[in-house]
């Protein structure tokens, strides 16, 4: 019998057993939003300075408490039916034997904005009750995953690659071989120029560009290369779209999530309170593997207007946008929509799915402008 998060019930602890607060970094309320699980914390959208998200406010999403791992004893095993010869690397091997690369990439949880989806539907979805803060962008430095896989001898029949975590429940999620071999799929050891922090995957984590955050496995200790499709709870029971608009893909009752759709974020609290003075409204937009090419806004259902985009504009990473506004006192609604380089624009609505994933429509952001400066 399979447990809700992988393996047999006798092999892995229950969700209740692992859902206790055990994170390392401080999570002060002035920087992070506590969503009530003891493990998951979002960034406050009104506390997002600069292009890169500082480590102290990069969101946390974990299925189990942060493990305390010793890099001197850690190793990474690469094995499975899709390699000719299993191989293992030490932490020192990763620092000394391979060329390093750096990529700037955004990671977003597929459940971001789930609580807003629930408010629209008048119900509460199971899962972490994220607002808008399950997203962050960092510079990740490490080794291309393909450089680690190739010495093991990838077989002609290899089709999937699955990193597995050293946390209590062995979090894991497969990806196609082509995605694993991509230039920007890396095993990261450094985040924003610092050794990878414990909560973010020390000693090593995968960064899968443009895909849901669950694919960027933290605390990696094993990578399986398979010549057969791999089915685990993270791509059959969870992180799948289940509903009338999503045909089942056996053995899952729904469609496994891979890429992240285009969406936008306003850097204001919800609801927001502003002064009646000229000001600049700022935000971010992200389009998964694609590049954001335009952001528009409108106030109180007026005409759509173009916001200005600031560099850099990187595929797989968010873009910053802004516009000037001289607001009148009273209550207002701000709407923002982003468009990517594939011509996809945020929709007005999205289809229902049972687990509340990928909620990315145009949001109506409530703003109250005070009557006095």
Q: What pLDDT shows up at residue 9?
A: 35
Whether residue 14 is predicted with pLDDT greater than 80 in this model: the reply is: no
pLDDT single digits (tens) 89-137: 999 999 999 999 999 999 999 999 999 999 999 999 999 999 999 999 9
Q: What is the pTM of this model?
A: 0.92
State the pLDDT at residue 187.
98
| CATH entry 3.90.420.10 includes domain 15-256 | yes
Q: What is the mean pLDDT of residues 72-101?
A: 97
Q: Is the pLDDT of residue 11 over 80?
A: no
Sequence spans of domains, the chain:
15-256, 263-369
Architecture of domain 263-369 in CATH?
Answer: Sandwich (2.60)
The whole-angstrom separation of Cα 133 and Cα 209 is 19
Tokens 């011509």 found at: 343
Mean pLDDT of all residues in 4-8: 35
Query: How confident is the model over 314-329, as a mean pLDDT?
Result: 97
Tell me the C-alpha distance between 165 and 153, whole Å: 22
In this model, does residue 28 exceed pLDDT 80? yes
Q: For residue 1, is pLDDT > 50?
A: no
Q: Which of the two residues, 267 and 1, has the higher pLDDT score?
A: 267
Instruction: Output phi, psi for 118, to 5 deg.
Output: -60, -40
The pLDDT score that the predictor gives to residue 371 is: 86
Pairing state between β 160-165 and 220-226: antiparallel
295-309 burial, b for 16+ CB within 10 Å, e for fewer? Answer: bbbebeeeeeeebeb
Does the pLDDT of residue 22 top 90, yes or no? no
CB distance 68 to 198 below 8 Å: yes
Identify the band that residue 372 occupies on the pLDDT scale cut at 50, 70 and 90.
confident
pLDDT at 20 over 70: no
Give the pLDDT mean for 46-73: 96
If you average pLDDT over every residue of the chain, what do you get?
A: 94
And the tokens for 135? 């997203």
pLDDT digits (tens, 9 = 90+) for 171-214: 999 999 999 999 999 999 999 999 999 999 999 999 999 999 99
Q: What is the 3-state secondary structure (H, E, C) of the chain?
A: CECCCCCECCCCCCHHHHCCCCCCCCCCCCCEEECCCCCCEEECCCCCCCCCCCHHHCCECCCCCCCCCCCCCCEEEEECCCECCCEEEEHHHHHHCCCCEEEEEEEECCCCCHHHHHHHHCCCCCCCCCCCCCEEEEEEEEEEHHHHHHHHCECCCCCEEEEEECCCCCCECCEEHHHHCCCCCEEEEEECCEECCHHHCCCCEEECCCEEHHHCCCCEEEEEEECCCCCCHHHHCCCEECECCECCECCECCEECCECCCEEEECCCCCEEECCCCEEEEEEEECCCCCEEEEEEEECCCCCEECEEECCCCCCCCEEEEEEECCCCEEEEEEEEEEECCCCECCCCCCCCCCCCCCCCCCEEEEEECCCC
pLDDT grade for 12, boundaries at 50, 70 and 90:
very low
């Amino acid at each position: 019998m399979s447990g809700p998060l992988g393996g047999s019930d006798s092999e892995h602890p229950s969700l209740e057993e692992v859902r206790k607060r055990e994170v390392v970094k401080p999570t002060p309320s002035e920087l992070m939003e506590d969503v009530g699980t003891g493990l998951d914390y979002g960034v406050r959208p009104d506390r997002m300075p600069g292009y890169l998200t500082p480590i102290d406010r990069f969101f946390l999403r974990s299925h189990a408490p942060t493990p305390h791992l010793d890099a001197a004893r850690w190793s990474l095993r690469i094995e499975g039916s899709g390699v000719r010869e299993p191989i293992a690397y030490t932490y020192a091997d990763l620092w000394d034997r391979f060329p390093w690369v750096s990529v700037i990439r955004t990671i977003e949880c597929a459940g971001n904005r789930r609580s807003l989806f629930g408010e629209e539907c008048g119900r509460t979805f199971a899962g972490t009750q994220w607002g808008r803060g399950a997203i962050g962008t960092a510079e990740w430095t490490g080794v291309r995953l393909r450089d680690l896989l190739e010495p093991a001898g990838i077989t002609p029949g290899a089709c999937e690659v699955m990193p597995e975590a050293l946390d209590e429940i062995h979090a894991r999620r497969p990806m196609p071989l082509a995605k694993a071999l991509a230039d920007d799929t890396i095993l990261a050891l450094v985040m924003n120029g610092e050794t990878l922090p414990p909560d973010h995957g020390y000693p090593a984590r995968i960064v899968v560009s443009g895909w849901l955050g669950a694919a960027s496995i933290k605390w990696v200790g094993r990578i399986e290369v398979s010549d057969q499709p791999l089915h685990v709870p993270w791509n059959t029971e969870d992180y799948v779209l289940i509903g009338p608009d999503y045909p089942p893909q056996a053995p899952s009752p729904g469609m496994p999530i891979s890429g992240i759709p285009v969406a936008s974020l306003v850097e204001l609290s919800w609801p927001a309170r502003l002064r009646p003075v000229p000001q600049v409204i700022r935000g971010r937009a992200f389009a998964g593997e694609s590049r954001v090419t335009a952001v528009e806004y409108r106030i109180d259902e007026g005409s759509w207007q173009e916001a200005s985009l600031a560099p850099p504009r990187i595929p797989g990473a968010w873009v910053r946008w802004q516009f000037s506004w001289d607001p009148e006192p009273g209550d207002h609604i701000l709407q923002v929509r982003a468009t990517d380089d594939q011509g996809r624009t945020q929709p007005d609505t999205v289809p229902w799915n049972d687990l509340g994933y990928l909620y990315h429509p145009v949001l109506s952001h409530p703003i109250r402008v005070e009557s006095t400066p």
